[in-house]
Chains A and B, each alone.
Chain A
């Protein structure tokens, strides 16, 4: 049992934090959101130079052989800085499918480009009716000579507008919510038959509606008849990264709130001297530490067998969702009016934390999954 970081991991954490804090502040972030592509090519290049984009890939594939702990550290730093870049989409989700599902030829053609910052990937999974059910897939993939042709519509595809490649779940057999008969396909984003409509998301990120009309896949990832376990594994890795990102955001927001409580004066004294506000700050600290514990738990459970991993990750997402809601709402409340002013950072952290709950299953979704596992005791 050991929660310590190695010296190398500590150095990684420091350099990621430094790189991001040099390049991010509230003004720059607002300008990025208002512009195109909605995030910073400069930060992306710096991330590539720092090795962050190749971090989780095996060295023989052109990566740096990082594991779940390294991903956690990067995600946490991105949460602290409230970054906008498509790291989760490209490196964690896209990278996860490449690592666990791609054949050698696909890995050789894409991983070096991802690591260099030249290839962006988006994961097109959610559909209008699916909510958070990964098995609810109406998009179809049909055999077409030696390849596959996809038909359907994917919604809220994160960073789908700027991606060079899409990873799409589609049904190859069975009915709409069957666990079997789901394939995972890699498509060039500019392939004929793909229509992408990009938009801004509430947290300052990017989303897209992706319509597939006879779009041809460039590769199959994993078993086209039974791809759901692959999807679940990659999504669990993404949830672990989201948990760490949320911890980074919560930690920054809590620190910001404490600063405010110490400096804002009303009734002739710092408002942090009022016990009613102190107790809310204490509850925020408890929520943060419980979330931090669970983000670490997620990281350490990712390589466990699927049943244990899925239960662990579901409980992590529940705790993260609960902690983020409490901490986010308290932070805004303790800031008062400035907490909901767009010029001030607290509200933006609150918005990102709110968005994280809607990604890959909210508290209720994962609680329902856990409830199904509750068994009677003798």
Chain B
């Protein structure tokens, strides 16, 4: 047993760190430090910088533009992006539909879509959840009926992140309502968002932000060549995502960066004439979160080391549920403590979350204050999306403890 990264891995970390520092626009970094999501333009510009460097899709096979990095290098790369902070690749393209096309797509699909995903020439969004299909995804109702060379899609998708930015959507649709098992009648389709019959309705979340949407399909015609894998075997595609990048859900780098921000804010806010960072109870709460985060980081490293030993497996693993649970809970606890430290300045609701500029005139609240409560509200999503934490506990009970 040895905790240290190898000299090569440490040199790699330095290289990544230097590249990010030299190439990421300061404006993008500052926006993220302030607790806001980078704009579409900032995200696209950064992804193209990474693509120019050959680092757009580290996880993909080398023949499709992957870097051939070890699991440890991929971990280091992601952690450096998170801690800087820099925008991470838009997961719906690089982590979801990309790997699915690589695993199940035709040569024509690979040639057509993969290079455009790497460069975000196409922005992808995900059409899985529906009003009646959340945790129970297999109950989805959106229909696709074959009509000559097309499928005709009717139905509604929900919680579609950044559908408003998207050029394409990948959807799970029901192609065989009579299948014996619900999972067996589902197919995986790629749909151009400019297709006639698609309507987007924003869902504004309680922080005031516009991240998610409803997407309606009304007789949308999709060429059959946009079917990925076999008809009625779309559930296999969806399952591929379960085991993909299982350490990503821990978001250790993001939480480390947010802890730095928390300490900065606690240095700005005073209580009884002293910065809050000097208050014993605040320090103990911060230290307590740092312990939890260290334990999570060590668990991530154990998973990485185990993967190195056994070869990468795409099978579900208790570790991915543990990492998702703890990663979301720890991140949420940081936003909660930020809210407590901000005190009365958590209250003013002055800045438009979509605006470029957080300065306000007249000067009614410190600049750091504007995102505190919105991020606290928004990050409740972390224990809901990607399989709620209760679903994760259920997976652990059934699959790994035999209950």
Contact B5 A290 (CB under 8 A): no
Contact A300 B3 (CB under 8 A): yes
CB of B364 within 8 A of chain A? no
Cβ-based interface call for B325 (8 A) = yes
Answer whether residue A375 sits at the interface, using C-beta atoms and an 8 A cutoff.
yes
Q: Find chain A residues with CB under 8 A from B4 CB.
A: 1
A262 to B261, alpha carbons, bound, how many Å?
46
Contacts of A278 in B (CB 8 A): 393-394, 397-398, 401, 403
Q: Is A378 an interface residue (CB 8 A)?
A: yes
**CB distance B277 to A374 under 8 Å?**
yes
Name the CB-closest residue of B to A375: B263
Give residues of chain A (219-275) contacting chain B, Cβ–Cβ below 8 Å: 258, 261-262, 272-273, 275
Identify which of B1, B5, B321, B393 contacts A4 (C-beta below 8 A): B1
Closest B residue to A376 by CB, please name it.
Answer: B267
Question: Do A290 and B2 have beta carbons less than 8 Å apart?
Answer: no
Residue of B266, B290, B393 touching A283 (CB-CB under 8 A): B393
Judge whether A370 and B290 touch: CB under 8 Å: yes
A285 touches B284 (CB 8 A): no
Contacts A262-B402, A376-B267; is A315 near B290 (CB within 8 Å)? yes
Which chain A residues in 258-305 approach chain B with CB under 8 Å? Answer: 258, 261-262, 272-273, 275, 277-279, 281-283, 285-286, 289-291, 293-294, 296-297, 299-301
Range for the number of chain A residues in contact with chain B: 35 or more
User: Which residues of chain B are near A290, meaning CB under 8 Å?
Assistant: 292, 295-296, 299, 322, 326
Which stretch from B169-177, B300-308, B349-357 is at the chain A interface? B300-308
Contacts of A104 in B (CB 8 A): none
Q: Within 8 Å of chain B (Cβ to Cβ): is A368?
A: yes
Most buried by B among A262, A291, A377: A377
B400 within 8 A of A: yes
Give the chain B neighbours of A318 by CB distance below 8 A. 287-288, 291
Task: State A291–B322 Cα separation when bound (angstroms).
Answer: 12
A319 interface residue (CB < 8 Å to B):
yes
- Residues of A near B319 (CB, < 8 A) are 289
Taking a contact as CB atoms under 8 Å apart, the answer to whether A376 and B286 are in contact is no
| CA A123 to CA B294, docked complex, whole Å | 31
Bound Cα distance from A290 to B306, whole angstroms:
16
Report the count of interface residues on B (CB-CB < 8 A): 53
Shortest CB–CB separation between residue A100 and chain B, in angstroms? Answer: 21
Interface residue? A307 (CB, 8 A): no
Q: Does any Cβ of B come within 8 Å of A143's Cβ?
A: no
The listed residue (B283, B298, B299) touching A371 by CB distance below 8 A is B283
A281 to B390 Cα, complex, angstroms? 12
Does A46 sit within 8 A of B, measured CB to CB? Answer: no
A285 touches B291 (CB 8 A): no
Contacts of A261 in B (CB 8 A): 403
Check B205 for interface membership: any CB of A closer than 8 A. Answer: no
Is A258's CB under 8 angstroms from B403's CB?
Answer: yes
Q: How many angstroms from the CA of A289 to the CA of B303 in the assembled complex?
A: 11
Cα–Cα distance between A3 and B3 once the two chains are bound (Å): 7
Task: Report A326 CB to chain B, min CB distance, Å.
Answer: 12
- Complex CA–CA separation, A371 to B264 (angstroms): 16
B277 & A279 in contact (Cβ 8 Å cutoff): no
Cα distance A375–B266 in the bound complex, in angstroms = 10
A368 to chain B, nearest CB (A): 7
Cβ of B23 within 8 Å of any chain A Cβ, yes or no, is: no
Contact partners of B305 in chain A: CB under 8 A: 1-4
Known contacts A297-B298, A300-B1; A376 and B277 CB within 8 A of each other: yes
Question: Out of B301, B326, B398, which one reaches A3, CB within 8 Å?
Answer: B301
Task: Provide the bound-state CA to CA distance between A272 and B325, in Å.
Answer: 21
Q: Are B291 and A296 in contact (CB under 8 A)?
A: no
- Complex-state Cα separation, A245 to B296, whole angstroms: 20
Q: How far is the CA of A285 from the CA of B299 in the complex (A)?
A: 13
* Chain B 303-333 residues near chain A, CB threshold 8 A: 304-306, 309, 318-319, 321-322, 325-326
Residue B199 is within 8 A (CB to CB) of chain A in the complex: no
CB neighbours of A273 from chain B (8 A): 403
Give the residues in chain A near B392, CB-CB below 8 Å: 282
Complex contact A371–B402 (CB within 8 A): no
Is the pair A319, B287 in contact by a Cβ cutoff of 8 Å?
no
Q: Decide if B24 is an interface residue (CB 8 Å cutoff).
A: no
Contacts of A299 in B (CB 8 A): 1
Of A285, A291, A367, which contacts B396 at CB under 8 A? A285
Report yes or no: A281 in contact with B403, Cβ–Cβ below 8 A: yes
Known A285-B322, A377-B264; contact A371-B1, beta-carbon cutoff 8 A: no
Q: Which residue in B275, B284, B295, B402 is a CB contact (below 8 Å) of A319?
A: B295
Flag whether B88 is at the interface (Cβ < 8 A).
no
Structural contact, A367 and B288, CB atoms closer than 8 A: yes
- B401 contacts A282, CB within 8 Å? yes
Collect the chain A residues with CB atoms within 8 Å of residue B260's CB. 377
Task: Report the bound CA distance from A273 to B294 in whole Å.
Answer: 33
Query: Is the C-beta of B72 less than 8 angstroms from some C-beta in chain A?
Result: yes
Residue of A nearest to B319 (CB): A289
Which residues of chain B come closer than 8 Å to A281, judged between CB atoms?
396-397, 401, 403
* A5, B288: Cβ atoms closer than 8 Å: no
Could you say which residues of chain A place their CB within 8 Å of the CB of B318?
A: 285, 289
Instruction: Write the nearest CB–CB distance from A300 to chain B, whole angstroms.
Output: 4
Q: CA–CA, A318 to B284, complex, Å?
A: 11
Q: Are A258 and B287 in contact (CB under 8 A)?
A: no
Cβ-defined contact, B267 with A377, below 8 A:
yes
A370 near B287: Cβ-Cβ < 8 Å: yes
Please name all residues of chain A whose beta carbon is closer than 8 Å to the beta carbon of B298 when the two chains form the complex: 293-294, 296-297
**Interface flag for A372 (CB, 8 Å):** yes
CA distance A277 to B283 in the complex (A): 34
Given contacts A1-B6, A279-B397, A319-B292, 10 further A-B contacts (CB under 8 A): A5-B1, A261-B403, A272-B397, A279-B390, A293-B298, A294-B294, A294-B298, A297-B295, A367-B288, A377-B261
What are the 6 tightest A-B residue pairs by CB atom distance, in nearest-first order?
Answer: A278-B397, A293-B298, A377-B263, A371-B283, A370-B287, A282-B393
16 contacts between A and B (CB under 8 A): A1-B5, A3-B301, A4-B1, A278-B394, A282-B394, A282-B401, A289-B319, A290-B295, A291-B295, A300-B2, A319-B295, A371-B287, A373-B287, A375-B263, A376-B275, A377-B263
Interface residues of B (CB under 8 A from A): 1-6, 9, 72, 260-261, 263-264, 266-267, 275, 277, 280, 283-284, 286-288, 290-292, 294-296, 298-299, 301-302, 304-306, 309, 318-319, 321-322, 325-326, 390, 392-394, 396-398, 400-403
